[in-house]
Amino acid sequence: MRKIIFIITFLLCFLLYSQTNIYNPGNIYSPTIETVLSTPQTLTDTWADVGGEIDVRGYYGFRLWSTFTMNTSTDIQVRILAKHTTGGIEYQEIILTIEPARVFGYPETFILFDNSITAWSIDFETNRRVYFIQIQIKAHPGDTPGTINSVIITKG
Protein backbone atom coordinates (compact mmCIF):
# COMPACT_ATOMS: atom_id res chain seq x y z
CA MET A 1 0.00 0.00 0.00
CA ARG A 2 2.84 2.39 0.83
CA LYS A 3 4.41 1.71 -2.57
CA ILE A 4 1.17 2.58 -4.34
CA ILE A 5 0.76 5.83 -2.35
CA PHE A 6 4.41 6.72 -3.03
CA ILE A 7 4.04 6.03 -6.77
CA ILE A 8 0.81 8.03 -7.01
CA THR A 9 2.34 10.92 -5.03
CA PHE A 10 5.45 10.86 -7.24
CA LEU A 11 3.40 10.82 -10.44
CA LEU A 12 1.18 13.69 -9.25
CA CYS A 13 4.19 15.77 -8.27
CA PHE A 14 5.86 15.03 -11.61
CA LEU A 15 2.74 15.90 -13.60
CA LEU A 16 2.13 19.13 -11.69
CA TYR A 17 5.77 20.20 -12.03
CA SER A 18 6.01 19.39 -15.73
CA GLN A 19 2.80 21.15 -16.79
CA THR A 20 2.92 24.39 -18.78
CA ASN A 21 2.23 27.48 -16.70
CA ILE A 22 -1.57 27.94 -16.79
CA TYR A 23 -1.19 31.70 -17.11
CA ASN A 24 1.02 31.41 -20.17
CA PRO A 25 -0.33 29.24 -23.00
CA GLY A 26 3.18 28.73 -24.42
CA ASN A 27 6.16 27.00 -22.92
CA ILE A 28 7.34 29.20 -20.03
CA TYR A 29 10.96 28.85 -21.15
CA SER A 30 10.34 29.68 -24.80
CA PRO A 31 8.50 32.80 -26.01
CA THR A 32 5.51 32.55 -28.28
CA ILE A 33 6.26 34.01 -31.72
CA GLU A 34 3.54 35.57 -33.85
CA THR A 35 3.79 37.28 -37.24
CA VAL A 36 1.70 40.46 -37.13
CA LEU A 37 2.60 41.88 -40.56
CA SER A 38 4.38 40.15 -43.44
CA THR A 39 3.27 42.27 -46.41
CA PRO A 40 4.67 45.84 -46.61
CA GLN A 41 2.24 48.56 -45.53
CA THR A 42 2.64 52.11 -46.88
CA LEU A 43 3.07 54.82 -44.26
CA THR A 44 0.40 57.55 -44.25
CA ASP A 45 -0.25 60.67 -42.17
CA THR A 46 -3.18 59.09 -40.27
CA TRP A 47 -3.09 56.31 -37.67
CA ALA A 48 -3.42 52.91 -39.37
CA ASP A 49 -3.71 49.48 -37.78
CA VAL A 50 -0.72 47.21 -38.28
CA GLY A 51 -2.14 43.72 -38.47
CA GLY A 52 -5.03 42.66 -36.31
CA GLU A 53 -5.68 42.68 -32.60
CA ILE A 54 -3.09 40.67 -30.64
CA ASP A 55 -3.95 38.48 -27.66
CA VAL A 56 -1.38 39.01 -24.87
CA ARG A 57 -3.45 37.55 -22.00
CA GLY A 58 -1.31 35.84 -19.40
CA TYR A 59 2.02 37.19 -20.65
CA TYR A 60 4.36 39.43 -18.69
CA GLY A 61 5.37 41.33 -21.79
CA PHE A 62 6.19 41.27 -25.46
CA ARG A 63 8.87 42.44 -27.87
CA LEU A 64 8.15 43.98 -31.26
CA TRP A 65 10.55 43.22 -34.10
CA SER A 66 10.01 45.59 -37.04
CA THR A 67 11.61 46.42 -40.36
CA PHE A 68 11.12 49.66 -42.29
CA THR A 69 11.94 51.25 -45.62
CA MET A 70 12.25 54.94 -44.76
CA ASN A 71 12.33 56.54 -48.26
CA THR A 72 11.37 60.21 -47.66
CA SER A 73 9.05 59.52 -44.71
CA THR A 74 9.79 61.40 -41.51
CA ASP A 75 8.40 61.46 -37.99
CA ILE A 76 7.34 57.82 -38.00
CA GLN A 77 5.19 57.12 -34.95
CA VAL A 78 4.20 53.73 -33.60
CA ARG A 79 1.65 53.40 -30.82
CA ILE A 80 0.35 50.52 -28.80
CA LEU A 81 -3.32 50.53 -27.83
CA ALA A 82 -4.33 48.36 -24.88
CA LYS A 83 -7.72 46.66 -24.53
CA HIS A 84 -9.31 44.72 -21.70
CA THR A 85 -11.75 42.90 -24.00
CA THR A 86 -11.46 41.77 -27.60
CA GLY A 87 -12.91 44.42 -29.90
CA GLY A 88 -13.31 46.73 -26.90
CA ILE A 89 -12.30 50.31 -26.16
CA GLU A 90 -8.71 51.08 -27.17
CA TYR A 91 -6.64 52.78 -24.47
CA GLN A 92 -3.45 54.51 -25.54
CA GLU A 93 -0.49 52.80 -23.94
CA ILE A 94 2.62 54.40 -25.48
CA ILE A 95 3.70 56.32 -28.57
CA LEU A 96 7.11 55.97 -30.17
CA THR A 97 8.27 58.76 -32.47
CA ILE A 98 10.91 57.54 -34.91
CA GLU A 99 13.06 60.22 -36.52
CA PRO A 100 16.19 59.73 -38.62
CA ALA A 101 18.58 59.94 -35.66
CA ARG A 102 16.52 59.01 -32.62
CA VAL A 103 13.33 57.53 -31.22
CA PHE A 104 11.27 59.16 -28.49
CA GLY A 105 9.03 57.00 -26.34
CA TYR A 106 6.75 58.75 -23.93
CA PRO A 107 7.29 59.04 -21.02
CA GLU A 108 10.76 57.59 -21.64
CA THR A 109 13.21 58.28 -24.47
CA PHE A 110 14.64 55.44 -26.54
CA ILE A 111 17.53 55.88 -28.97
CA LEU A 112 17.10 53.08 -31.48
CA PHE A 113 18.57 53.95 -34.86
CA ASP A 114 19.81 56.45 -37.38
CA ASN A 115 18.94 56.75 -41.09
CA SER A 116 21.03 53.73 -42.10
CA ILE A 117 19.29 51.24 -39.79
CA THR A 118 15.97 49.87 -41.01
CA ALA A 119 15.19 47.30 -38.30
CA TRP A 120 14.46 47.74 -34.60
CA SER A 121 12.97 45.92 -31.67
CA ILE A 122 11.67 47.09 -28.35
CA ASP A 123 10.23 45.51 -25.20
CA PHE A 124 6.88 46.33 -23.59
CA GLU A 125 5.73 45.12 -20.19
CA THR A 126 2.14 44.04 -19.59
CA ASN A 127 2.59 42.15 -16.30
CA ARG A 128 -0.42 39.99 -17.23
CA ARG A 129 -2.73 43.01 -16.82
CA VAL A 130 -3.32 43.84 -20.51
CA TYR A 131 -5.39 41.32 -22.46
CA PHE A 132 -5.28 42.58 -26.04
CA ILE A 133 -3.21 45.14 -27.95
CA GLN A 134 -3.42 46.87 -31.31
CA ILE A 135 -0.35 48.30 -33.03
CA GLN A 136 -0.83 51.49 -35.07
CA ILE A 137 1.54 53.56 -37.17
CA LYS A 138 1.63 56.91 -38.97
CA ALA A 139 4.24 59.24 -40.51
CA HIS A 140 4.80 62.28 -42.66
CA PRO A 141 5.05 60.34 -45.91
CA GLY A 142 7.03 62.82 -48.02
CA ASP A 143 7.35 62.49 -51.80
CA THR A 144 8.17 58.78 -51.67
CA PRO A 145 6.34 57.25 -48.70
CA GLY A 146 8.14 54.62 -46.69
CA THR A 147 6.76 51.25 -45.67
CA ILE A 148 6.67 49.12 -42.60
CA ASN A 149 7.77 45.80 -44.07
CA SER A 150 7.31 43.30 -41.29
CA VAL A 151 6.32 43.05 -37.64
CA ILE A 152 6.90 40.00 -35.49
CA ILE A 153 5.95 39.82 -31.83
CA THR A 154 7.46 37.53 -29.22
CA LYS A 155 5.41 37.09 -26.06
CA GLY A 156 6.76 35.78 -22.79
| pLDDT at site 68 | 86
Q: Are 94 and 36 spatial neighbours (Cβ–Cβ below 8 Å)?
A: no
Q: Which CATH architecture has domain 31-155?
A: Sandwich (2.60)
| pLDDT at site 21 | 47
Q: How many CB atoms lie within 10 A of CB 132?
A: 19
In percent, the amount of the chain with pLDDT more than 90 equals 26
pLDDT band at 48 (very low <50, low <70, confident <90, very high): very high
Q: Averaging pLDDT over each range in 1-15, 26-40, 102-116, 124-138, which range is the top one? A: 124-138
Q: pTM for the whole thing?
A: 0.71
- Alpha carbons 99 and 101: distance in angstroms, whole number: 6
Q: Which residues contact 20 (CB under 8 A, 6 or more apart)?
A: 26, 27, 28
